[in-house]
Chains A and B, each alone.
Chain A
Amino acid sequence: MKKIRTALAFFGALMLAAACNKKADFDYYYYDPEDYALLQQYLSLPDIPDDYTANFPTHLRNAGLFPRPVERDKAVLGRVLFYDKSLSKDGTVSCASCHKQELGFGDDVAFSRGVFDRSTERNSIALTSVSNFSAYYGTDLNGSQAIRFFWDNRAETAAEQSQASLTNPREMNMHMDEVVSAVQSQPYYAPLFKKAYGDDFVTANRVKESISNFVNAMGSYQSKFDAEAAKVTGFSAASYVNFAGFNVQQNRGLQIYQANCASCHSPIMGRPMLFNASNGLDAVTHPDDRGVGPVTNIPADEGTFKVPTLRNIALSAPYMHDGRFQTLEEVVDFYSTGIQAHPNLHSNLRNNGQPRRFNYSNEDKQALIAFLHTLTDDQARKDQRFANPFKR
Chain B
Amino acid sequence: MIVGNVQCSIFNQQCSMNREKRSLSSIPTKILCYTMLRLALLLFAFVFYAGQHACAQHFYYAPNSVHIPVLGQKGDGDAGVGMSWGSNYFAVEAAGVYSPKQHWAFMVNALTTTTGEVRRKEDVGTVIRFLELGLGAYQSFERGAGSIFAGVGQGNLFSHYGGGNFSQFTIRRYFVQPGLMYEDQMFRCGLALRLSRLSYPKGESSFDIDVNELNAIRKIEADAPFFLPELGLTGGIVIAPCVLAIQLASVFPDVPGLNFARFNMNLTLTYDFGLMRRVPSKSK
Which of A's residues lie within 8 Å of B, judged by CB?
Answer: 3, 7, 10-11, 14, 17-18, 21-30, 32, 48, 195
| Chain A min CB distance to B248 (Å) | 25
What's the Cα separation between A32 and B207 when bound, in Å?
11
Having A7-B137, A24-B220, one finds 16 other A-B pairs with CB under 8 Å, namely A7-B104, A10-B150, A17-B174, A18-B152, A22-B225, A24-B199, A24-B203, A24-B225, A25-B221, A26-B203, A26-B217, A27-B203, A27-B205, A28-B204, A29-B204, A30-B208
Chain A hits for B197, CB < 8 A: 18
Q: Is B135 an interface residue (CB 8 A)?
A: yes
Contacts of B220 in A (CB 8 A): 24
Query: Which residues of chain A are within 8 angstroms of B217 by Cβ–Cβ distance?
Result: 26
CB<8 Å pairs between A and B, sample of 19: A3-B104, A7-B104, A10-B135, A14-B150, A22-B199, A22-B201, A22-B225, A23-B221, A24-B200, A24-B221, A24-B224, A25-B203, A25-B221, A26-B204, A27-B203, A27-B204, A28-B206, A28-B207, A29-B207
A196 to chain B: closest CB distance in Å?
12
B205 touches A26 (CB 8 A): yes
Is B151 an interface residue, CB under 8 A from the partner?
Answer: yes
- For the complex, is B164 an interface residue (Cβ under 8 Å from A)? yes
Kindly list chain B residues whose C-beta atoms are within 8 Å of the C-beta of A30. 206-208
Which residues of A have CB within 8 Å of B104? 3, 7
Do B206 and A21 touch (CB < 8 A)?
Answer: no
Q: Are A23 and B137 in contact (CB under 8 A)?
A: no
Taking chain B's interface residues, is the majority helix, strand, or loop, or is none over half, making it mixed? strand
B194 to chain A, nearest CB (A): 13
How many residues on the B side are at the interface (Cβ–Cβ under 8 A)? 28
Give every chain B residue within 8 A of A26 (Cβ-Cβ): 169, 200, 202-205, 217, 221
A29 to B167, CA, bound (A): 9
Q: Which B residues form the contact surface with A (CB < 8 A)? A: 101, 103-104, 135, 137, 150-152, 164, 169, 174, 197, 199-208, 217, 220-222, 224-225
Q: Is the interface of A mostly helix, strand, loop or mixed?
A: mixed
Tell me whether B207 and A48 are in contact (CB under 8 A). Answer: yes
> Chain B CB within 10 Å — which of A11, A14, A21, A30 has the most?
A14
Q: Which residue of A lies closest to B223 (CB)?
A: A24
In angstroms, Cα B252 to Cα A111, docked, is: 68
A29 with B206: CB separation less than 8 A: yes
Could you say which residues of chain A place their CB within 8 Å of the CB of B225?
21-22, 24
A29 to B164, CA, bound (A): 11
Return chain A residues, CB-CB under 8 Å to B222: 24
Min CB gap B222→A, angstroms: 8
Residue from B101, B103, B104, B208 whose CB has the most chain A CB atoms within 10 Å: B208
Cβ distance B258 to chain A, nearest Cβ, rounded Å: 12
Enumerate chain B residues within 8 angstroms of A18, measured Cβ to Cβ. Answer: 152, 174, 197
Of chain A, the residue at the smallest CB distance from B203 is: A26
Tell me the bound Cα distance from A29 to B208 in angstroms.
8
Q: What are the nearest 3 A-B pairs in CB distance?
A: A26-B203, A18-B174, A30-B207
Quick check: A14 and B152 within 8 Å, CB to CB?
Answer: yes
| Chain B residues whose CB sits within 8 angstroms of the CB of A11 once the complex forms | 150
Residues in A whose Cβ lies below 8 Å from that of B151 = 14
B199 surroundings in chain A (CB, below 8 A): 22, 24
Judging by beta carbons under 8 Å apart, are A24 and B208 in contact? no
The minimal Cβ–Cβ distance linking A102 to chain B, given in whole angstroms, is 30
Give Cα A331 to B125, complex, Å. 65
Residue A17 contacts which of B103, B152, B208, B221 (CB distance < 8 angstroms)?
B152
CA distance A368 to B51 in the complex (A): 73
